Structure 1
Amino acid sequence: MLLRHSLPRSSTPSSWFSRLSPASVMPLRAKVTNSAFAATSRMSTATEPQIPKELPGDEPDDVLFSSLYGVRLVELNRPKKLNSLNGSMVRKILPRLKEWEKSQLANIVMLSGAGSKALCAGGDVAALALQNEEGPEGQKASADFFGLEYKLDHLIATYPKPFISVMDGITMGGGVGLSVHAPFRIATERTVFAMPETTIGFFPDVGGSFFLPRLDGEIGTYLALTSERLIGVQALYAGIATHYFHSSTLGNLTGRLSELVFPDHASLPERLDLVNRTMAEFQTGLPSLEEEPIQLGGSLRTAIDRCFSHGTVEEILKALERETEQKAWAQKTLETIAMRSPTSLKVTLRQLRVGKSWTISETFQREQQIAARFMRHPDFVEGVKARLMSKPPRQASWQPATLGEVTAKQVDEFFSLPKGEKPMQLLSEGDYKSYPHAHYALPSEEDIRKLVTKEMTRGDFRASWGGKEGVKEKVNEVMARRTVKSPEGVQWN
């Protein structure tokens, strides 16, 4: 008998996952280039990577694992801390994912957060800041945590089975790393996405070097430097999420996915396509554009591309000062950036510009080195204490205090591999330069350009995105902003 699990629209359980039938859920207990990174991004099989194991003192039950037929569920279980990620959680998840890789019974992996407030609000940076104050040993321990976290993110990005991240609630920092690289990312009406790292003297890590430059236009640069939030369906329009569902449908969706049977020799693309078609069954409509217009669209999007396309932070600030069409927005953005760590801003912009050429493996290897350098920099401890630990929050005292004091040499140091060190060994050999599953999200602006210029046929466009919610809205926004009508027809502008 096929099972369906429903969740009443009006209910507010601790999590949609907890509402699944107990009988059917079985607990399981820079311009900088360095050849050293490229040489090891294709991991040698001569030495097998060590799978992390739990350590004495790790928190019990901070991650819950369950099985619903062919679906394997991972639930981050620190709701009082908005499911913030720590080493204990990563050491539990990594071995389980590696185990499921080999299991013929495990068809799909779904990751969610306990409670209704967050998938994951980020890494437990308060604990890391206190650890850094202990000196070099504490700073190294913090850097080791980021390396462990990035290994998990890379494994998700290259996982050989369908992986679904449920971005229900706050999804920031470390929560973004657990979701944005998966082939399927579900946003709900409760999703709150942001990359707030420059606020605390850090940089948009967890693969931000890869996914942010690959968003449309300069959206990634804008999100990285300002920490702007995207709420609900805006995560879909921006390309962060691939699907948008009301949170009340998640229980039904999980039950339906558990019914799927994959052919024995089905390839990963075939399995992903089946999951995508199944998820389409749960489309219930997006909020109307009158109710929720596309946030990063229209004249604002044009201003974002115009102001954030420059090669230095100083040039971006000058462009914002000159902005006239979106003057109020530009002034607010200037005030926002002025509060950020100058070092973080310069490192972040460099990261986004050079990250366009990095592979997904090189991205995490390089980010591990950048993170280790930030653990030795005073801005991280100061930023975390000022913004997250002080009551009320205060403005941080950055060192250096101004953009002009941050030299190119200081920025270069974040992107160089220390002498004698090798890039971090990853737990998967998977690698690529562009997301192989990008077509499960809304079409990119480049896809729409190809349609307008007839580099892509209407048939091919419909084959990839026909019937998908949000396509019409995005195509109309891009067409209104980027095309003009002429006697020869519609022309890309």
Structure 2
Amino acid sequence: MLLRHSFSRLPSPPSWISRFPSPAMPLRAKVTNPAFQATASISTSVPIPKELPGDEPDDVLFNTLYGLRSIELNRPKKLNSLNGSMARKIFPRLKEWEKSHLANIVLISGAGSKALCAGGDVAALALQNEQGEEGQRASTDFFGLEYSLDHSIATYSKPVISFMDGITMGGGVGLSMHAPFRIATEKTVFAMPETTIGFFPDVGGSFFLPRLDGETGTYLALTSERLNGVQALYAGIATHFLHSSVLSSVTQRLSELVFPDNLDLPGRLDAVNKTMAEFSLEEPMLLAGGLREAIDRCFKFNQVEEIIAALESEQEQKEWAQKTLETLSTRSPTSLKVTLRQLRLGKKWGISETFKREYDIAGNFMRHPDFVEGVKARLISKPARQAEWQPATLQEVSQETVDGFFATPENQQGLQLLSEGDYNRYPHERFALPSEAEIEKFVRQSRSARETIQHFVEKSGQKEGVAEKVSEVLARRTTIGQNGLEWR
């Protein structure tokens, strides 16, 4: 437990010191908790990507503040969209910091006030794909680079924090979702918008989306629906909700944490979590009640046609169902079918298999006309227009076509990851709000509503948002029986 370990604060440094390492930091501790044995150092057997001639200068900024190492995506005019140049700069730094006894925590943020990262630079990829097979292969290589970076973050041996301040979509989600701490603010706009451009929710979406409560992940993946602010916390995307005005103070506090030499990784994560909790806020939950019931009711099927039929028959949330049907009608039919299959299969994939499988799927999408058409229609054409999908209807997308997206494309080698770490559930998932599955397990022990709420509030260390979420789940999923709460 955190209280059994001491950690202290250092005096505030002058601003000029941020580019120099702190002279007094503890040695890295051994990882002794079995839950974190899957976390592995970045491998040395696969070459670490390095910068190439022609890579943009200063598109990523790196800074040091005592024990904190920061990665700032620095393309604000492009909403910090991730490209190969940025990824190639980040890899060596992660490797360096993982070895360093002076580096305690890694922080990922975005320059400017609008976005952490609005996604990958797909406009450049679409134009590249038009060059034929060579361009498509180069685009696929970018996704391999991106997925390897995401996997390295997912299995990193030190605490990683992402400030999801502003737009956090696509590639920005990949840099955030696999970190132990994901900080939403009032400016957060989360989405996986891939089906709007003839693609699929990648960057590990196969792993985290099916593991969200109920059919929330399926809904977000197929519709590209946005979650604003605190709603990312309640959905399980973020681990904390803070006001953007305190991020600089949080950064300062994190930099001042000094860990004892014998404190293992889980203990260090607990210390970071306690620091975050001091700044947390609470606001009402929107993706709840009847709407959540409708999402689970309509998106539980394994065929897109069945989901559409359920939406057409929906009576309790008619307005929402109609809006959702209109949204789905504009999405790539191929993307919808591949995405639904991806989510159902992804429930059983470990984190390593996830990125390897997604690499194959991405390679096949680079060879499919919908990706170029979707990017041109939505992101390049001025004004944006409705894409002309090939094929144009769900009925024309055969089972054979969907199956083909999950095969390794010809002349494409499998993805080689730079870390050997693997797991089937996030080892740091306890820092998010309790899941419905956790609440159900506790309720089935015949607990009262008051006892259930109290249990999870105390377990979380009085975390903001816990009582609200547990109360909502109990109201929606339980009834009062002779022996107390009964799950339904």
Contact 1:171-1:192 at 8 Å conserved across structures: yes
Aligned to 2:470: 475
Partners of 1:282 and 1:191 lie apart in 2 by 16
Matched, 1:487 2:482: yes
The residue correspondences of 1:285-304 to structure 2 (distance < 5 A) are 285-287=281-283, 289=284, 294-304=285-295
Residue 278 of structure 1 and its aligned partner are, at CA, apart by 1.5
Which ranges in structure 1 are unaligned for 5 or more consecutive residues? Answer: 6-20, 29-40
Instruction: In structure 2, give the amino acid aligned to 1:24.
Output: I
The residue correspondences of 1:196-215 to structure 2 (distance < 5 A) are 196-215=193-212
Contact 1:170-1:191 at 8 Å conserved across structures: yes
The residue correspondences of 1:415-430 to structure 2 (distance < 5 A) are 415-418=406-409, 422-430=413-421
Aligned to 2:30: none
Residue 234 of structure 1 and its aligned partner are, at CA, apart by 0.5
The residue correspondences of 1:27-426 to structure 2 (distance < 5 A) are 48-283=45-280, 285-287=281-283, 289=284, 294-418=285-409, 422-426=413-417
Residue 488 of structure 1 and its aligned partner are, at CA, apart by 2.2
Secondary structure, counterpart of 2:389 in structure 1: coil
Aligned to 1:31: none
Instruction: In structure 2, give the amino acid aligned to 1:477.
Output: E
Partners of 1:453 and 1:422 lie apart in 2 by 47
Q: Please list the CA deviations of residues 200-256 of structure 1 after superposition, one character each: whole Å capped at 9, or x if unmatched.
A: 000000000000000000000000000000000000000000000001111111111
Q: Please list the CA deviations of residues 3-40 of structure 1 after superposition, one character each: whole Å capped at 9, or x if unmatched.
A: 348xxxxxxxxxxxxxxx53231169xxxxxxxxxxxx
Instruction: In structure 2, give the amino acid aligned to 1:484.
Output: T
Contact 1:203-1:344 at 8 Å conserved across structures: yes
Partners of 2:355 and 2:43 lie apart in 1 by 21
Partners of 2:279 and 2:236 lie apart in 1 by 19
Residue 421 of structure 1 and its aligned partner are, at CA, apart by 5.3
Instruction: In structure 2, give the amino acid aligned to 1:470.
Output: G
Instruction: In structure 2, give the amino acid aligned to 1:306.
Output: R
Instruction: In structure 2, give the amino acid aligned to 1:138.
Output: G
Partners of 2:410 and 2:197 lie apart in 1 by 28
Partners of 1:2 and 1:46 lie apart in 2 by 33
Q: How many residues are paired up?
A: 460
Aligned to 1:3: 11
Residue 266 of structure 1 and its aligned partner are, at CA, apart by 2.0
Percent identity, aligned pairs only?
70
Q: Please list the CA deviations of residues 258-290 of structure 1 after superposition, one character each: whole Å capped at 9, or x if unmatched.
A: 11111213211111111111211223x323x3x
Contact 2:20-2:65 at 8 Å conserved across structures: no
Residue 487 of structure 1 and its aligned partner are, at CA, apart by 2.7
Partners of 2:186 and 2:222 lie apart in 1 by 25
Contact 1:439-1:464 at 8 Å conserved across structures: no
Secondary structure, counterpart of 1:24 in structure 2: helix
Instruction: In structure 1, give the amino acid aligned to 2:135.
Output: G
Aligned to 1:18: none
Secondary structure, counterpart of 1:436 in structure 2: coil
Match of 1:432 among 420, 423, 430: 423
Instruction: In structure 2, give the amino acid aligned to 1:201.
Output: G
Partners of 2:39 and 2:154 lie apart in 1 by 15
Secondary structure, counterpart of 1:64 in structure 2: strand
Q: Please list the CA deviations of residues 379-431 of structure 1 after superposition, one character each: whole Å capped at 9, or x if unmatched.
A: 00000000111111111000011101111111111111246755211111110
Aligned to 2:439: 448
Instruction: In structure 1, give the amino acid aligned to 2:424.
Output: K
Aligned to 2:16: 23
Instruction: In structure 2, give the amino acid aligned to 1:440.
Output: F
Partners of 1:42 and 1:278 lie apart in 2 by 23
Question: Normalising to structure 1: TM-score of the pair?
Answer: 0.90
Instruction: In structure 1, give the amino acid aligned to 2:466.
Output: V
Contact 1:262-1:271 at 8 Å conserved across structures: yes
Residue 52 of structure 1 and its aligned partner are, at CA, apart by 0.3
Q: Please list the CA deviations of residues 91-121 of structure 1 after superposition, one character each: whole Å capped at 9, or x if unmatched.
A: 0001100111100000000000001100000
RMSD: 2.1
Q: Please list the CA deviations of residues 59-116 of structure 1 after superposition, one character each: whole Å capped at 9, or x if unmatched.
A: 0000000000000000000000000000000000011001111000000000000011
Instruction: In structure 2, give the amino acid aligned to 1:358.
Output: W
Contact 2:201-2:221 at 8 Å conserved across structures: yes
Secondary structure, counterpart of 1:112 in structure 2: strand
Q: 1:220–1:137: structure 2 CA closer, same or farther, 3 Å change rule?
A: same
Instruction: In structure 1, give the amino acid aligned to 2:16.
Output: A
Contact 2:140-2:363 at 8 Å conserved across structures: yes
Secondary structure, counterpart of 2:176 in structure 1: coil
Partners of 1:366 and 1:94 lie apart in 2 by 21
Instruction: In structure 2, give the amino acid aligned to 1:427.
Output: L
Contact 1:4-1:252 at 8 Å conserved across structures: no
Q: Please list the CA deviations of residues 121-141 of structure 1 after superposition, one character each: whole Å capped at 9, or x if unmatched.
A: 000000000000000000000
Question: Normalising to structure 2: TM-score of the pair?
Answer: 0.91
Partners of 2:199 and 2:177 lie apart in 1 by 19
